Amino acid sequence: MPPVSPSAPSVLDLAPVVPVVVVDELKDAVPMARALVAGGLPAIEVTLRTPVALDAIRAIAAEVPGAVVGAGTVISPRNVADSVDAGARFLVSPGWTDSLLAAMEGAGVPFLPGVSTASEVVALLERGVSEMKFFPAEAAGGTAYLKSLGGPLPQARFCPTGGITSGTASAYLALKNVGCVGGSWMLPADAVAAKDWARVESLAREAVALAQV
């Protein structure tokens, strides 16, 4: 990704599906991540929405071989610094400001700033950023909107996230300007509550299969 370095890995190429994880109980972080990795989803976005999120990133980074753990819901330069310090290997934001973008550019890891309009995409392209999160995907226009952006802005690539399900993921992944999708359907609340990590692994495998259709 240009703002980091020409040889930096792309978030969009880590995996076709990126689980978007909200960790409420720290003890769930490692077994959940192990199940996702075993199911073929190594890129894991832990959102900074709970008090234990940074500790969860730290635990996954230290204890789950094969996991590429990142931080989501990054909305401030402080979030950037704390996430990288915890071991996050990529950053994802729901939107961006000049100061947040500058912090992510200086973090030394790949990042996806969030956009939902053509003007935001153009503004990032002007700054040398061509890989972005499209959020909230379904509410902001879904596959039809992203397909429309591909005509005038073919250099922009996206990870759509927000409202995507196992039933809609394949349609997004079929678009030329989509590198991966983010979602949480492989982590249903009842399975997490029951600590049913075998089910999570199975759903992760099904998510991988969607990208191969």
Can you give the pLDDT at residue 9? Answer: 65
- Mean pLDDT throughout 161-184? 97
Confidence category of residue 6, pLDDT binned at 50, 70, 90: very low
Percent of the chain with pLDDT over 90: 92
- Mean pLDDT throughout 155-178? 97
**Per-residue three-class SS string for the chain:** CCCCCCCCCCHHHCCCEEEEECCCCHHHHHHHHHHHHHCCCCEEEEECCCCCHHHHHHHHHHHCCCCEEEEECCCCHHHHHHHHHHCCCCEECCCCCHHHHHHHHCCCCCEECEECCHHHHHHHHHCCCCEEEECCCCCCCHHHHHHHHHCCCCCCEEEEECCCCCCCHHHHHCCCCECCEEECCCCCHHHHHCCCHHHHHHHHHHHHHHCCC
Query: What does the pLDDT look like over 80-130, one tens digit per residue?
Result: 999 999 999 999 999 999 999 999 999 999 999 999 999 999 999 999 999
Can you give the pLDDT at residue 7? Answer: 40
Domain ranges of the chain: 14-207
CATH class as words, domain 14-207? alpha beta
**Catalytic site residues?**
45, 133
Query: What does the pLDDT look like over 24-46, one tens digit per residue?
Result: 999 999 999 999 999 999 999 99
